[in-house]
Structure 1
Amino acid sequence: MKHFGGFAVLWLWIVEALENCPDACKCIQKKDVEGTEVNCYKQGLHHFPLKFPLDSWILKMGENIIQELPANILRSLPKLESVNLERNSIKSIHPQAFSGASRLMLLNLYGNQLTSLPTKGFKDLLNLRFLMLGQNRIASVKSDMFIGMRNLSDLDLPMNSLTTLPPNAFKPLIALKVLDLALNRIQKISPKAFSGLEELLFLNLDNNRLKNIQAGIFKTVNNLEMLVLDNNLLSTLSSSMLEGLSNIQELYVRKNRINSLPADVFRHTPKLTQVALSGNQLQTIDGNMLANVQGLKHVYLHDNPWKCDCDINSLVQYIDQTRLNRAPLEKLWCVSPEEHRGKPMHKLKSEGLLCDA
């Protein structure tokens, strides 16, 4: 009789899930979590379904034609932890669209047509860990967009239309560890843009339009371990730009327009282990600057127009004395003067490096 009772409960659970499963979707019960996975992937849906199994755990609704998210679409789903709405045609989100979804941990809105985010639109998502907003048309970010998301650890905003980062833009995100802003059009970062992000470990600003970075911008993210500034328009890199990055381990500034590095550029980055400056306009740098960063293990300087005269002597000595990860340093080739054009730098001798009197 006891077994019969358990079977009856299971049967009622299955019946309820099947009855409330949206048309054209597949609903699968997951016994290990006592929840239902609802799969509506690529079913031509124009609207967000009105009903779901009450124990819905995961919603997979990618590659449909949904254009808007109305209010309270998730309110009746207390067990919901993951919603995937990637590659729809979503243009608008009601400020109360996610009301009541307090257990939601992942929200994927990648590849839609959003131009803005609703004020306080995510305030009920107290347990959200991952928010994917890449490949939309979002033109601005403000702190009131992120109110309530105190546990968010990963915010992905690549391939949008951001041009500036205003003060306190991400301030409510006190637990954020990963911030991806690659492939936007960012030209200006306000001095307090990253205020509140004391837990941030990874910041990606690859492929933007940054010409300059004001001193002290990174002071508020002093736990940052990796910073990517590749494919921007930076003409210089200075110690004041890197001020506050006392825990940075990896720094990538490839394919910019940097033509010189001051001797104290890494004064504020004592834990640096890897630096990449390939694809810039460097003709010479002080090898002692690299030697003085004691933990530095990986240095990438190829694809620069190196001028192999007496000013490059300290770099040649640094290459000769370096034993760890020599391969990238052996890719440095002289562009000038004519007598050294095409020669690998690691084969040069100090006595052959001449300068005009």
Structure 2
Amino acid sequence: MRPLPEPSAQSLRLLFLFIFVMGVAPSPALTAGCPHGCVCDDQLLVVQCAGQELTRFPNDLPLATRQLIISNNRIGDLPPLQLNYLSDLVYLDCSNNSLTEISESTFGNLRKLAYLDLSFNTLLQIEDRTFGPLASLVMLRLTDNPGLGEIHSDAFSENVALQVLDVSRNNLTTLNISGLIALPALRSLGLSGNPWKCDCDTEDLCLWMNKLEGITADQSQKICYSPPELAGQRLSEVGMQLRADCHHGLGYWDYLFFIAIGFVIFSAGTVLRLTVAPGAEI
């Protein structure tokens, strides 16, 4: 696999221009009723609710909303029933809240969503197909969730438009990359600041990172946290060592296991033959 280039400032500007253009494209105006504590822009179809000490997802959001910003609040849940009415949403910033979980149903009808920020929350895990419905997702930020220790291998497998994924500064020790390898548009992958455990479970990630040197700007931060003999080394530097350590020949206990299995099969066959009447078909 050829190295994926780090996105340039120009490409990121184009991404946000794309989101902005989608936001100002002809669409029904926002309704006159704007949620309490929020500011609504009828021309840009933006609902701004940042920093309002909200503890719940805002009610009665205009259905024509294209950009929703609810960052810097204390919201603990994204209710699918309310969120999925916003089928024209292209930009959603939920950063710096108290979100603990999300699921496939959370974003079930947001097929136009291009930008999603879930950073600085309290997420614990990302389940199978969590982002599956987001067919247009281009940028996803999942940074700074200190309890996030598990991301399912198929969490992003259907996000074929995804270009920028950042899972930095979480509590990840391993990451199954099978779903990431298949993403045709991926250009940037942020992994720094996680307590990576460089063992056989992380071998594929380390080997992949060896091919992707330069993909992000914080290479020096993507280091092994354990075991002690590898602590401080870059993920990309230990891949070949792990391959050698994790694919050695059969050990003493492996041979004993095969011998025991063979003995059991032989004994079962012998007993069966002794218990079947002479001349009977086995």
| Structure 1 position 313 matched with structure 2 position 203 | yes
Cα distance per residue 1:179-226 (max 9 Å; x no partner):
100011101221212233222111000000010114312122210000
Residues of 1 paired with 2:178 and 2:220: CA distance? 18
Higher relative contact order, chain-length normalized (CA < 8 Å, sep 6+): 2
| Structure 1 position 158 matched with structure 2 position 50 | yes
Q: For the Cα contact (< 8 Å) 1:216–1:242, is it kept in 2?
A: no
1:250 counterpart (124, 132, 139): 139
CA deviation after TM superposition for structure 1 residue 351, in Å: 3.0
Change (3 A) 1:190 1:287: closer
Residues of 1 paired with 2:171 and 2:236: CA distance? 19
What is the correspondence of 1:1-357 to structure 2 with a 5 Å cutoff?
Answer: 122=32, 138=37, 153-165=45-57, 169-170=60-61, 172-174=62-64, 176-256=65-145, 257-322=147-212, 325-352=215-242, 354=245
Residues of 1 paired with 2:208 and 2:232: CA distance? 20
Q: For the Cα contact (< 8 Å) 1:287–1:316, is it kept in 2?
A: no
Q: For the Cα contact (< 8 Å) 1:288–1:315, is it kept in 2?
A: no
Residues of 1 paired with 2:179 and 2:104: CA distance? 20
Residues of 1 paired with 2:223 and 2:44: CA distance? 45
Higher Cα radius of gyration: 1
Residues of 2 paired with 1:340 and 1:159: CA distance? 42
Alignment length, in residue pairs? 217
CA deviation after TM superposition for structure 1 residue 291, in Å: 1.3
Residues of 2 paired with 1:232 and 1:181: CA distance? 12
Change (3 A) 1:216 1:329: farther
* Partner SS state of residue 335, structure 1: strand
Residues of 1 paired with 2:224 and 2:139: CA distance? 26
CA deviation after TM superposition for structure 1 residue 325, in Å: 2.3
Change (3 A) 1:341 1:323: closer
* Partner SS state of residue 216, structure 1: helix
Gaps of 5+ in 1: 1-104, 106-119, 124-130
Cα distance per residue 1:123-170 (max 9 Å; x no partner):
5xxxxxxx8x9xxx94xx8xxx98xx876511111001222227x732
Residue identity opposite 1:305 in structure 2? P
Residue identity opposite 2:152 in structure 1? P
Gaps of 5+ in 2: 1-28, 252-282
Provide the residue aligned with 2:26 in structure 1.
none
Change (3 A) 1:295 1:330: farther
Q: For the Cα contact (< 8 Å) 1:319–1:329, is it kept in 2?
A: no
Provide the residue aligned with 2:274 in structure 1.
none
Q: For the Cα contact (< 8 Å) 1:299–1:329, is it kept in 2?
A: no
Provide the residue aligned with 1:92 in structure 2.
none
Residues of 1 paired with 2:242 and 2:93: CA distance? 41
Q: When the two structures are superposed, what TM-score results if normalisation uses the length of structure 2?
A: 0.68
CA deviation after TM superposition for structure 1 residue 345, in Å: 1.5
Change (3 A) 1:206 1:255: same
Change (3 A) 1:218 1:351: same
The structure with more helix, counted as a fraction of residues: 2
CA deviation after TM superposition for structure 1 residue 331, in Å: 2.9
Residues of 2 paired with 1:278 and 1:287: CA distance? 15
Residues of 1 paired with 2:181 and 2:220: CA distance? 17
* Partner SS state of residue 221, structure 1: coil
* Partner SS state of residue 275, structure 1: strand
Residues of 2 paired with 1:344 and 1:323: CA distance? 11
The structure with more strand, counted as a fraction of residues: 1
